[in-house]
Structure 1
């Protein structure tokens, strides 16, 4: 009853869907059918076909449908983008992204393939690479359940191949020793960044974005570029971590809905990420899949 009254309220223009993964498709479709724009928590849907249907319906209705890819505004990712944009390491050879934990316990639960780490965390790390480099030529998959074979995956090592370089995305729930969040190697040098964005940690601690110090990266986690300059001299450069801001997702949505600007995550990017995620579970692992 509450949902129907919400959908029938003409003043409501946007519905944010933060429900279990398996419900995203049906709820997004229902909202669009009632002429509501939708922001869908990751993953956008559980299959590529579902994503295509949702995006097609949104286009037909003249509405916005988009996943909540807030980690495009992670401070650590913004630091990586800054280094790449300024070509400090030259032409990229390899970039490696980690989302690791040390959590030994993994109690039984009745989860499906889309309830594991690759759909839950890989959706962000893959999206970050797609936002930088587009669709890969081929993908290597190693997706496994390490701690509890009864549960969906809790480990993935996935490599996205782009011409002469590759992007590696990884999650492992049994990493006790700190490991870099990003590693970037190029023809002129390397960039190493420890520590993940602090916004989520601050929110869990009760801080708000307007509070002093919210989301700030400690100086000891600032990334370092070691490179060779144009004169052949070895250089070291500390990269102050930019301030992340998940609120920019909503700023963009406002512009997309009200001012008809381009949405943050394009349909092509949404479908690319969904295809990469779903393909990881079509066949044995490890394996390589070539994308058209």
Structure 2
């Protein structure tokens, strides 16, 4: 087995929690290098890695096959373009890019250079989303009427990370948390035919969006995607209503919390939610009305890297394609236009 030599372009929260732990314990990957301009935090945690002070030096490492572009949102396009031109496979953190035009350019460039390009939409592997997806795949709710998906937090203070609070392209809650919800909706239902959105900035002195309410319209149903930094009491993250029943489930995926506590992703109980967070299914099935809590699917971000390996080594499908990432940005652009013009925006699918 030939391991995939992998590098991270930064070692902030994304690199430290959502990438390095999985690459480090995955037997088919090796964390070989990290881009760290000043503090060698990654090198202290992983002494065998190579620390590079700039991207050009990192990309000159011929042993590297895969580069994770997990730098601030506004830099994704610039970094990803250089990685592709260096002939390396790449994973780009969400949001893929700031604009659809940038996404299109990167997809075309990856095709030209023959490299694999994936976007890191890890929330496809959250336990709550995987459970809701299974309920829908079994058609337990009948024809859908209304869907609501939340990604709320209680964070009234501004971030200490200046780039997250500076009103530049690809900054704000719509790009940060909204991209997760939009991707989840697109996985379940495909592209909507139209979009309506309302944004706000509720935190004192906030200059970027920290609240959004985005409506995605489909032929048979509507999807509402909401996020706010002023939700002290969490609402259910997944609310699905169909003509035969409802499914309601919290956002209780344990993976981020466990990563923050230092838990290893290869632990036997990885991704298993507490039993009291099970989703409620209230529906008519085979002529009988049932109301019961159903088992939660295991959350597992490692599946993403399993599929990345299979794609690079075996030629199998990527877990998330560049086109998937582009579609998310297309919806975001439509939502921004809707909020600005205060009207429903039709999407050309």
Between the aligned partners of 1:31 and 1:198, the Cα distance in structure 2 is 32
Per-residue CA shift, 1:42-64, capped at 9, x if unaligned?
Answer: 11111111110000000111111
Are 2:144 and 1:88 equivalent residues in the alignment? Answer: no
CA-to-partner distance for each residue in 1:57-83, whole Å, 9 max, x for gaps? 001111111110111100000010011
Deviation (angstroms), 1:91: 1.1
How far the C-alpha of 1:162 sits from its partner, in A, is: 1.2
Alignment partner, residue 39 of structure 1: 91
Instruction: Report the count of equivalent residues.
Output: 291
TM-fit CA distance, 1:175: 1.4
**Equivalence for 2:167:** 111
SS in 1 for 2:248: strand
Report the alpha carbon displacement of residue 212 of structure 1 after superposing the two structures with TM: 4.3
Tell me whether 5-14 or 102-111 shows the greater mean CA deviation.
102-111
Q: Retained in 2: the 8 A contact 1:143–1:286? A: no
Matched, 1:130 2:222: no
- 1:140 equivalent in structure 2: 196
Q: In the alignment, is residue 287 of structure 1 matched against residue 334 of structure 2? A: no
Is the CA contact (8 Å cut-off) linking 2:270 and 2:300 kept in structure 1?
A: no
Structure 1 position 103, deviation (Å):
2.1
Distance in 2, Cα, partners of 1:58 & 1:140: 32
What root-mean-square deviation, in Å, do the aligned CA atoms of Structure 1 and Structure 2 show?
Answer: 1.7
Give structure 2 stretches of 5+ with no counterpart: 1-52
- Measure, in 1, the Cα distance between the counterparts of 2:269 and 2:308: 26
| Contact persistence 2:216–2:222 (CA under 8 A) | yes
**Equivalence for 1:229:** 285
Instruction: Identify the residue that residue 265 of structure 1 maps to in structure 2.
Output: 320
Q: Tell me the SS of whatever aligns to 2:187.
A: helix
What pairs up with 1:1-292 in 2 under 5 angstroms? 2-106=54-158, 109-148=165-204, 150-231=206-287, 233-282=288-337, 284=340, 286-292=342-348
Bigger mean CA deviation after superposition, 15-24 or 233-242: 233-242
Q: Go from structure 1 to structure 2 and tell me whether the alpha carbon gap of 1:75 and 1:11 turns closer, same or farther (over 3 Å shift).
A: same
Whether the 8 Å contact between 1:189 and 1:225 is mirrored in structure 2 is yes
Q: 1:147 to 1:246 in 2, by over 3 A?
A: same
Q: Is the 8 A contact 1:113 1:152 kept in 2?
A: no
Q: RCO (CA 8 Å, sep 6+): is it higher in 1 or 2?
A: 1
Structure 2 Cα separation of the partners of residues 112 and 2 of structure 1: 23
Partner SS for 1:114: coil
| Farther-moved stretch of structure 1 (183-192 vs 60-69) | 60-69
Q: CA deviation at 1:21?
A: 0.6
Query: For residues 271 and 319 of structure 2, what CA distance do their matches in structure 1 show?
Result: 21
Matched position secondary structure for 1:287: coil
Detail structure 1 runs of 4+ shifted over 3 Å in the superposition. Answer: none
In structure 2, C-alpha distance between the alignment counterparts of 1:9 and 1:113, rounded to whole Å: 31
- Normalised by the length of structure 1, the TM-score is 0.94
Partner SS state of residue 245, structure 1: coil
Query: CA separation in 2, counterparts of 1:197 and 1:42?
Result: 19
Q: Deviations over 1:198-229 (max 9, x none)?
A: 10000001111122433221111100100123
